[in-house]
Amino acid sequence: MKALVATDYGSFDNLKFAEIEKPVPGEGEILVKTRAVSVNPVDWKIVTGQRQGSFPAVFPYVVGWDLSGIVEDRGHAARRFNVGDKVYGYIRRPQLKDGTYSEYVLVPECYLCKAPDKISLKDASAIPLAGLTAYQALTVFGHLHRGETIMILGASGGVGTLAVQISKIMGAKIIAIASASNLDFLKNIGADYCFDYNDATWVEKVTEISPDLVLDCAGGETRDKGVPAVSKEGRVVSLTAREFPDKTINFTGMLVEPHSLNLELLTSWIEQGKLKPFVSKYFKFDHAIEALKLNQEGKTRGKIVVTIGD
Ligand SMILES: NC(=O)c1ccc[n+]([C@@H]2O[C@H](COP(=O)([O-])OP(=O)(O)OC[C@H]3O[C@@H](n4cnc5c(N)ncnc54)[C@H](OP(=O)(O)O)[C@@H]3O)[C@@H](O)[C@H]2O)c1
């Protein structure tokens, strides 16, 4: 089977397509015929060496953590799904080895969840990593309550677009921070206030609103300027930093965990029409490296999806 593998850390030059053996499911494992994978910044950050040491790797490893596909085969006692079921999941294993950018993926069934019927299987691949991040950031780490105000820095990206919708479901007021070209889009998906991070007055405006929770999906200058706008008793959850220089701010860095029960909840919201992925571009598998490079430019609205099967 064909897979996209990384032979070392350092650059995109270490990525290549390889023919590897199609695996056979063992105890508790499912073999998934891949329909699509979505691009997450972590995929190219690991390849380019920015996460070196954070995740142990066995080279050459198959790239990618998001997956949607169809159950092809089941191992001993793997009975949560039937052959032919549509499934999806965030498959971050303890080490980088058997990723998802592959025609077939062998995975312990605990990582998987039945894919929603309401959206296509290829669009479903855009949900797991980004959706679980948004959900865990708002609930487990951010303790967002109905009626509170959340500010989402980098609201137009993969995590941000899902965080806007989940915040709405949770009954929060939403301040979305993005570039000018994404503000109407964010208003349309549920943001109450939208500000352009290139507008010199945005920090002053959001400080006046004084959000209860800040979710940082942006990093850099937007994070450093936006975080201090949090209310005095407020919380900050960051996807891009573990610490913040101002220690008086209640600041928590997080790493998303695979969690099929959380994913089931997101699936139910998708089925109810309350949550949906926004896929801005599809690539065929042969062009997966271009997809990763496009995401690296930092301007993806919603998600980029790489389709693998038919
Ligand atoms: N710790 C974790 O568990 C975890 C999980 C998921 C993601 N992450 C990290 O969180 C970040 C966001 O992930 P993602 O998947 O949402 O990324 P993404 O989809 O690639 O984000 C792209 C978005 O970033 C926005 N952006 C670019 N420059 C910006 C700036 N200066 N200020 C505000 N927004 C800006 C862009 O909006 P404009 O085009 O409008 O500028 C674009 O819509 C990444 O660094 C990723 O590695 C961490």
Which CATH number fits the domain that encloses residue 39?
Answer: 3.90.180.10
117 and 149 co-located in one domain: no
How many A from CA of 20 to the centre of ligand 1?
Answer: 32
Q: Is ligand 1 within 6 A of the CB of residue 28?
A: no
Nearest alpha-carbon partner for 10 in 39, 45, 42, 55: 45
Q: Is ligand 1 within 6 A of the CB of residue 160?
A: yes
- For residue 25, tell me if it sits in a domain: yes
How many A from CA of 210 to the centre of ligand 1?
Answer: 22
Q: What is the pLDDT of residues 195-214, one digit of tens each?
A: 999 999 999 999 999 999 99
137 and 240 co-located in one domain: yes
pTM: 0.98
> Looking at ligand 1, which residue's alpha carbon is closest to its atom 15?
158
Q: What is the pLDDT of residues 71-109, one digit of tens each?
A: 999 999 999 999 999 999 999 999 999 999 999 999 999
Q: Residue range 164-193: average pLDDT?
A: 98
State how far the alpha carbon of 78 is from the alpha carbons of 25, 75, 81, 105, in Å. Answer: 9, 6, 7, 15
Nearest alpha-carbon partner for 186 in 285, 119, 197, 147: 197
How many A from CA of 255 to the centre of ligand 1?
Answer: 14
- For residue 232, tell me if it sits in a domain: yes
* C-beta of residue 69 within 8 angstroms of C-beta of residue 33: yes
Token digits of residue 206: 């959001």
Q: What's the pLDDT at 53?
A: 82
C-alpha–C-alpha distance, residues 78 and 101, integer Å: 23
Q: Is ligand 1 within 6 A of the CB of residue 38?
A: no
7 and 59 co-located in one domain: yes
Q: Is ligand 1 within 6 A of the CB of residue 40?
A: yes
How many A from CA of 239 to the centre of ligand 1?
Answer: 9
Token digits of residue 183: 């503000």
54 and 67 co-located in one domain: yes
Residue 209 belongs to what domain range?
Answer: 131-253
Atom of ligand 1 nearest to the CA of 255: 3
Pocket test for ligand 1, best of 139, 217, 293 (most atoms within 8 A of CB): 217
- For residue 265, tell me if it sits in a domain: no
Atom of ligand 1 nearest to the CA of 253: 1
How many A from CA of 155 to the centre of ligand 1?
Answer: 8
C-alpha–C-alpha distance, residues 197 and 152, integer Å: 12
193 and 286 co-located in one domain: no
Q: What's the pLDDT at 310?
A: 76
102 and 139 co-located in one domain: no
Atom of ligand 1 nearest to the CA of 178: 40
300 and 245 co-located in one domain: no
> Looking at ligand 1, which residue's alpha carbon is closest to its atom 21?
157
42 and 115 co-located in one domain: yes
**If pLDDT is split at 50, 70 and 90, which confidence band does 6 have?**
very high
Q: Residue range 137-150: average pLDDT?
A: 98
Token digits of residue 90: 């965030």
How many A from CA of 169 to the centre of ligand 1?
Answer: 21
Q: What are phi and psi of 148, to 5 degrees?
A: -80, 165
Q: What's the pLDDT at 309?
A: 80
123 and 135 co-located in one domain: no
Q: Is ligand 1 within 6 A of the CB of residue 300?
A: yes
CATH number of the domain within which 180 lies: 3.40.50.720
Q: What's the pLDDT at 193?
A: 98
Q: Residue range 232-249: average pLDDT?
A: 98
Atom of ligand 1 nearest to the CA of 238: 1
- For residue 181, tell me if it sits in a domain: yes
Q: Residue range 30-55: average pLDDT?
A: 95
**263 has a pLDDT exceeding 80:** yes
Q: Is ligand 1 within 6 A of the CB of residue 60?
A: no
Atom of ligand 1 nearest to the CA of 42: 47
How many A from CA of 298 to the centre of ligand 1?
Answer: 7
C-alpha–C-alpha distance, residues 121 and 88, integer Å: 8
- For residue 271, tell me if it sits in a domain: no
The number of distinct structural domains making up the chain is 2
98 and 159 co-located in one domain: no
Q: What's the pLDDT at 52?
A: 83
- For residue 268, tell me if it sits in a domain: no
Q: What is the pLDDT of residues 276-290, one digit of tens each?
A: 999 999 999 999 999
Would strands 303-307 and 279-284 be described as parallel, antiparallel, or unpaired? parallel
- For residue 122, tell me if it sits in a domain: yes
Q: What is the pLDDT of residues 173-186, one digit of tens each?
A: 999 999 999 999 99
104 and 193 co-located in one domain: no
Of all residues in the chain, the percent with pLDDT exceeding 90 is 97
67 and 149 co-located in one domain: no
